[in-house]
Structure 1
């Protein structure tokens, strides 16, 4: 993305965000493209190898059945999602139409909100970033935070001011990325709501805490949004049964079929669904086809190096194109082959939960999360 990205749990060490690309080849020469990590490909792919990709829904269940003993969560679910995305791409290409048409959407426009993963940016860069989103007509935005209210409140004001050129009262969301306990969440959101209205607060508690989020709903005005890290319908049921969330979120990286099924599950409860974005917005095609879409997260106005994607950003949302499939053309000359460069796990970043998360009594500087060097024996 050419900028620092991160959230309250940590910030990436550089300006580069890796985007794994999966290409599935067919005997007819057509290729299907899926985006997202697929480290378990060797175990999952035999479930679909040699099959007709047009049977994508049945093949999705076949992949789940293929791994049912070990379970389908985590990296395995991500792999299933990437394969599923590539199979849907192939299915739409076989029909010579964009996926949003294949899925039955009437309109190509997907309403969205700006979400820059901007925790590591200073205030000037924050204003510039949301100014770019405002230039494309966005009327809603989401800020990452949850550590220091004195830092977050001015940044919320900056974001609101940037988006106010398109709406008198832009929709403002706040994402704590599971960093609070119940009491912290209630106090923190109440402090924000003394200054402004929040459309929703996202992941205020751990993703599985149905009882906690249900109780929190009675203490704050903002809606509660969660679900991006849930892998399978069975993980949503406790939250829905407890009336714990107002907006049902779904991660792009888990694939097309998973999104469609969660959207149907939410629709049965009269709840809106909102996809959490990923580079290239592949699930936007499915989002255009469901009746209960609220809004779609847009994290960047540019596309990854080596990917030509048939989308535009205008009027505060995504305008899908007419290219067959999910609209992605890959320039493999700009790709790095998987395994060619060793992947070194990050020591810190948004995907690593800090040791003192939800255990802080007061706002603390980011230095608290810098790994401490190991002790050396004294000779």
Structure 2
């Protein structure tokens, strides 16, 4: 019997890196509670930082990060500074390269803008690794499922009237989306309750309904509103308090029937882990681009998995679908159509679930129309 020679790994190296800064417009500007309280302006575009990495062997990977309202210029500037540090490196050494880039920017911090910029490179390296293996990213990570429950948020912002909000919810359900999330946080709490009650009547008890406060309640208001909302059978109450109030979230999670979720505004794995270690929420909602990419996301998810937490990552369904599919326990992905113009492909949605694409890597390629929204474009080699 002839033996097959053992596989020999052939080292590869990063030869080209392309960075693009994109100002992707929204069809309609939207407002959440942070706008009503005067803390922010309506959101009219998403700032994308796209990184495309190519190796000497001709394998490519694409990743991206983002910011809302401000910070896109800073992300792009930092990415330009550290991108040359990846040239000549083995693209398979993802964890080591993450640390290399993080320490390169340590003087300005290993969280926030720096790690958000690193997320574009990190995601591109994971995409590249999965493409090299000929696997969807979820399969490379060890998929638990090939589809994930999904809910829509983009139709439930506060600038929409009740009628507009209900119409958008019905459109989402008709498209196959399984749940609806709506924004709350009006100064008039009775108005919040009436809008949620109207949505519950429209949807019925069987459709999962979530609310998102965007950090605009104090502890007393959150407890009172949470008790009132307990009667409506919500899937969760999201960000009822300031994102850094671990103790306050823990108190709400202990006292209320409705599950409590948070995590999207945290900007490092260490910050998210404070919630996990304290078991201060029921639903963990960390965001891969915001905490530095897939590498730190997975480290946090492992800790949450050990505690049986529900996973519902914030935004960027294009990335989080794969990560949620590899999570052991109940998971959700958040449907936003905002980034769809950036890519050639569309995600398949049916019967309340978003299906993981069979294409290698993330299964995405940048659309040519990005040219019209490109703010800056630079290549390193």
TM-score, L = length of structure 2: 0.79
Higher helix share: 2
Q: Is the Cα contact below 8 Å between 1:310 and 1:320 reproduced in 2?
A: no
What RMSD in Å do the two structures reach over aligned CA positions? 2.4
In structure 2, distance between residues paired with 1:61 and 1:332: 33
In structure 1, distance between residues paired with 2:120 and 2:203: 34
In structure 1, distance between residues paired with 2:342 and 2:272: 35
Q: Is the Cα contact below 8 Å between 1:227 and 1:250 reproduced in 2?
A: yes
Q: State the Cα deviation string for residues 211-259 of structure 1 (Å, max 9, x = none).
A: 2222223432211111112233321343234332111111142322222
* Corresponding residue for residue 104 of structure 1: 142
In structure 1, distance between residues paired with 2:157 and 2:284: 23
Residues 219-298 of structure 1 mapped to structure 2, 5 A cutoff:
219-254=255-290, 255-278=293-316, 281-298=318-335
Q: Does 1:63 align with 2:101?
A: yes
Q: State the Cα deviation string for residues 23-73 of structure 1 (Å, max 9, x = none).
A: 233334443221223422023324423212222233223322333343221
Q: Does 1:8 align with 2:39?
A: no
Secondary structure of 1:192's partner?
helix
In structure 2, distance between residues paired with 1:87 and 1:158: 45
* Corresponding residue for residue 130 of structure 1: 169
Q: Does 1:325 align with 2:361?
A: yes
Residues 97-176 of structure 1 mapped to structure 2, 5 A cutoff:
97-116=135-154, 118-147=157-186, 148-164=188-204, 168-176=205-213
* Corresponding residue for residue 25 of structure 1: 54
Q: Is the Cα contact below 8 Å between 1:56 and 1:87 reproduced in 2?
A: yes
Note closer, same or farther for the CA distance 1:70–1:4 as it changes in structure 2 (3 Å cut). closer
In structure 1, distance between residues paired with 2:274 and 2:364: 36
Q: Is the Cα contact below 8 Å between 2:148 and 2:331 reproduced in 1?
A: no
* Corresponding residue for residue 307 of structure 1: 343
In structure 2, distance between residues paired with 1:306 and 1:174: 28
* Corresponding residue for residue 353 of structure 1: none
Provide the aligned length of Structure 1 versus Structure 2: 334
Unaligned runs of 5+ in 1: 341-379
TM-score, L = length of structure 1: 0.80
Unaligned runs of 5+ in 2: 1-25, 67-74
In structure 1, distance between residues paired with 2:56 and 2:375: 22
Higher strand share: 2
Secondary structure of 2:255's partner?
coil
Q: Is the Cα contact below 8 Å between 2:149 and 2:178 reproduced in 1?
A: no
Q: State the Cα deviation string for residues 132-187 of structure 1 (Å, max 9, x = none).
A: 211133342211111232322232234334544xxx43222211111111112112
In structure 1, distance between residues paired with 2:83 and 2:329: 32
Note closer, same or farther for the CA distance 1:236–1:124 as it changes in structure 2 (3 Å cut). same
